[in-house]
Amino acid sequence: MAKPDNRADNVEHLQQSIQNTEQNLEEAEGYLNEFASEISSEERSQIEEKNERRKESIRGFRAEVKDEAAHSQE
């Protein structure tokens, strides 16, 4: 038998994911700022690309939070 859909804590989990991803983004940007002259252009490019993916993830998480909020009001 399938478990019922329990969305009670989805927003909380999504908000935690947003905070974790934002923290990782900030740490990576700090690393780039501090060590820009010491890292290879390839490593810099990889970090910048990963940060773009993090920004996209944050946008997706925020959209899910809005969706969850809309479903909780139904």
Residue 9 pLDDT class (50, 70, 90 cuts): confident
Name residue 62's amino acid.
Answer: R
| Contact indicator for 6, 60 with CB cutoff of 8 Å | no
In angstroms, how far is the first alpha carbon of the chain from the final one? 25
Residue 56: per-residue pLDDT: 98
Domain segments of the chain as ranges: 41-74
The pTM (predicted TM-score) of the whole model is 0.83
Assess whether pLDDT exceeds 90 at residue 20: yes
Residue 74: per-residue pLDDT: 63
Q: Of 16, 27, 29, which is closest to residue 58 (Cα–Cα)?
A: 16
